């Protein structure tokens, strides 16, 4: 069997279990997954393919591609948590295969491509984003495709035109997935690389001009349509509020530090954190002898970090587009450290440090199990997880002592997926803390609803409540979202009282702190009853006396 076919088959089988298997067990989570899925759902209800719709109004927070993908998945599978998570999982699989071929192209070695793909496949953030409904996986994989296309054309002049045109095609799709950064990240990475390699003339050609025409033909029509139809409403919300404002204002102020991205980058690559750090240090240390392959990856990583570092709004997923580059640098480092006798100590030291970090993680799980056992209906899944992790530790230690380096590497690949083994047994215990499904089902199954009435929700529950009930919602004691939503926000006692007077009977989904606020605001003019507590949501009935 051809080596490429063998490696790809292994990656597809692993990707099925890592990304697809059990994807529908946990309901769509609040507040972010339901944001995307509810938008696609309302687009279906309104028969719209061009305008994203949320709360029955156009919403301009994200471009159209993710909603097209979700709507296509709904047509195939129906509306469900599995169908909603199917597109990100498919793109994650595509990203793994792309990294295999990219690393093979960079380092001229199938085993290095396979090692790089395994590193990305098993890193915790990649698995997490493959199994959740966000734009980041789709966006990042499209950037990966664009840079792979460019480098393919760069190293083989026979494919120059095709590579450059595909570079712009995938960049255009990335712009439709998340905005102008879909072109800025790959284009700046390429330009910096060509400048440092002293080959900038490579991109200054008629092929690039043709590629730009293709880019504009793909990327611009939707933006032109939205700008023509919604004028300043779209332009201000999408370009100012969702892009420029995030540069100058922190959506999550606690993240706005110089060390946020370096720390989250290392943490989110686990169990490869130590290896990634060592690979980056090794690459920088040998910068004078660096070849085109490592230079290209270094430019990709540096450009991504620089672009997002100076923005005040910082989220872990923002730097996700550089994770394939980190995986390839890491895969190359791991392969060379195992196969080169002079560097085997590097792999051993990194493995031992990772093994000790794993002990700390397992110890934390044991402490958590003892302290918060009341969250679980049964501790048997917990015992199974701890036993599996301890067995993993013992086998890994044995392989380390016996100097079975490749076996140690493969064991690290399976560290994060071990945690997924217990999800089928505990998803009903943990789901109420992440999803509004059970709370909404309880209300709909036990109490009759006026279709025109509002449900009153704490801010974190409002999107999920809308998705699972299809009813109108209002936010209790909360400010608007960073990107405004067209629903009532009752941010003062007077507004809450006025709202309560307008409806003789109101049902609410509240956090515990907001339940205390309700007691104070209701005073003696309203009576309330806590119907049920599900997870961290209190279902409350409020009516006038």
pLDDT for 139-181, tens place per residue? 999 999 999 999 999 999 899 999 999 999 999 999 999 999 9
End-of-domain residue from the set 427, 453, 471? 427
Q: How confident is the model at residue 248 (pLDDT cuts 50, 70, 90)?
A: confident
pLDDT for 47-91, tens place per residue? 999 999 999 999 999 999 999 999 999 999 999 999 999 999 999
pLDDT at 430: 87
Taking alpha carbons only, the member of 353, 357, 425, 358 closest to residue 389 is: 358
pLDDT for 192-207, tens place per residue? 999 999 999 999 999 9
Q: Is 311 in the same domain as 453? A: no
Q: Is 132 in the same domain as 208? A: yes
pLDDT for 358-369, tens place per residue? 999 999 988 888
Contacts of 75 (CB under 8 A, 6+ apart): none
Q: Is residue 313 part of a domain?
A: yes
Q: Is 167 in the same domain as 245? A: yes
Q: Is residue 233 part of a domain?
A: yes
DSSP run (H or E) holding 215: helix 206-234
pLDDT for 383-426, tens place per residue? 889 999 999 999 999 999 999 999 999 999 999 999 998 888 88
Q: Is residue 350 part of a domain?
A: no
Q: Is 269 in the same domain as 408? A: no
Q: Is residue 104 part of a domain?
A: yes
Q: Is 320 in the same domain as 455? A: no
Q: Is 198 in the same domain as 282? A: yes
DSSP 377: S
- Decide which of 448 and 180 is more confident: 180
pLDDT at 500: 87
Q: How confident is the model at residue 209 (pLDDT cuts 50, 70, 90)?
A: very high
Q: Is residue 352 part of a domain?
A: no
Say how many domains are in the chain: 3
Which structural domain range is residue 317 located in? 3-339
Q: Is residue 346 part of a domain?
A: no
- Decide which of 421 and 371 is more confident: 421
Q: Is 440 in the same domain as 400? A: no
Q: How confident is the model at residue 1 (pLDDT cuts 50, 70, 90)?
A: low
Q: Is residue 345 part of a domain?
A: no
What global pTM score does this model have? 0.94
HSE-CB of 35 using CA atoms within 13 angstroms? 18
Q: Is 229 in the same domain as 297? A: yes
d(CA 287, CA 292): 11
Q: Is 272 in the same domain as 387? A: no
Q: How confident is the model at residue 528 (pLDDT cuts 50, 70, 90)?
A: confident
Q: Is 498 in the same domain as 417? A: no
Mean pLDDT (the chain) is 92
pLDDT at 169: 98
Q: Is residue 353 part of a domain?
A: no
- Which stretches within 290-379 are classed as H helix? 292-309, 323-339, 344-371
Q: Is 508 in the same domain as 393? A: no
pLDDT for 89-139, tens place per residue? 999 999 999 999 999 999 999 999 999 999 999 999 999 999 999 999 999
pLDDT at 346: 94
End-of-domain residue from the set 378, 405, 427? 427
Cis peptide preceding 271, ω within 30 of 0: yes
Mean pLDDT of 533-537: 92
Q: Is 288 in the same domain as 386? A: no
End-of-domain residue from the set 394, 410, 427? 427
Tell me which range, 229-243, 288-302, 343-357, 415-429, is most confidently predicted by mean pLDDT.
343-357
DSSP run (H or E) holding 455: strand 454-457
DSSP run (H or E) holding 489: strand 489-490
Mean pLDDT of 241-258: 84
pLDDT at 221: 97
pLDDT at 289: 66
């Amino acid at each position: 069997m051809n080596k490429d076919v063998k490696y790809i088959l292994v990656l597809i089988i692993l990707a099925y279990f890592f990304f697809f298997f059990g994807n529908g067990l946990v309901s769509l989570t609040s507040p972010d997954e339901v944001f995307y899925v509810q938008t696609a759902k309302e687009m279906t209800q309104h028969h719209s393919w061009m305008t994203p719709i949320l709360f029955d109004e156009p919403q301009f927070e994200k471009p159209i591609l993710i909603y097209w993908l979700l709507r296509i998945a709904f047509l195939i599978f129906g509306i469900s948590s599995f169908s909603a998570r199917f597109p990100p999982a498919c793109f994650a699989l595509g990203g793994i295969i792309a990294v295999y071929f990219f690393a093979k192209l960079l380092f001229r070695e199938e085993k290095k491509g396979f090692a790089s793909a395994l590193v990305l496949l098993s890193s915790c953030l990649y698995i997490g984003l493959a199994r959740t409904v966000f734009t980041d996986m789709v966006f990042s994989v499209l950037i990966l495709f664009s840079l792979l296309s460019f480098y393919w054309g760069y190293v083989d002049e026979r494919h120059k035109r095709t590579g450059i045109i595909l570079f712009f095609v995938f960049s255009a799709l990335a712009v439709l997935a998340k905005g102008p950064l879909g072109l800025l990240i790959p284009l700046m990475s390429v330009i910096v690389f060509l400048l440092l390699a002293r080959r900038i003339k490579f991109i200054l050609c008629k092929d690039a001009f043709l590629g730009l025409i293709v880019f504009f033909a793909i990327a611009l029509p939707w933006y032109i349509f939205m700008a023509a139809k919604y004028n300043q409403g779209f332009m201000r919300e999408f370009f100012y509020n969702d892009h420029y404002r995030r540069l100058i204002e922190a959506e999550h102020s606690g993240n706005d530090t110089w060390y946020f991205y370096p720390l989250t980058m290392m943490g989110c690559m686990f169990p490869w954190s130590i290896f990634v750090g060592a690979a980056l240090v090794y690459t920088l240390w040998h910068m004078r002898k660096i070849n085109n392959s490592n230079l290209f990856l270094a430019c990709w990583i540096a450009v991504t970090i620089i672009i997002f570092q100076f923005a005040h709004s910082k989220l872990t997923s923002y730097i996700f587009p550089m994770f394939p580059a980190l995986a390839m640098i890491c895969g190359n480092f791991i392969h060379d450290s195992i196969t080169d006798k002079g560097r085997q100590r590097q792999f051993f030291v990194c493995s031992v440090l990772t093994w000790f970090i794993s002990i700390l993680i397992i110890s934390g799980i044991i402490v958590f199990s003892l302290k918060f056992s009341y969250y679980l209906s049964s501790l048997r899944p917990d015992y199974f997880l701890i036993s599996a992790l301890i067995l993993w530790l013992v086998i890994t230690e044995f392989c380390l002592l016996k100097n079975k380096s490749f076996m140690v590497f493969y064991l690290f690949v399976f560290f994060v997926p071990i945690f997924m083994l217990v999800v089928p047994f505990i998803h009903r215990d943990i789901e109420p803390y992440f999803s509004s499904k059970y709370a909404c089902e309880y209300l709909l199954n036990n109490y009759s609803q006026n279709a025109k009435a509002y449900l009153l929700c704490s801010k974190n529950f409002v999107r999920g409540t809308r998705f699972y009930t299809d009813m109108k919602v209002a936010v209790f004691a909360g400010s608007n979202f960073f990107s405004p939503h067209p629903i009532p926000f009752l941010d003062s006692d007077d507004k809450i009282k006025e709202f309560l007077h307008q409806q003789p009977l109101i049902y609410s989904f509240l956090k515990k702190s907001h339940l205390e606020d309700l007691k104070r605001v209701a005073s003696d003019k309203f009576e309330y009853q806590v119907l049920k507590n599900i997870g961290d949501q209190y279902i409350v009935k409020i009516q006038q006396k």
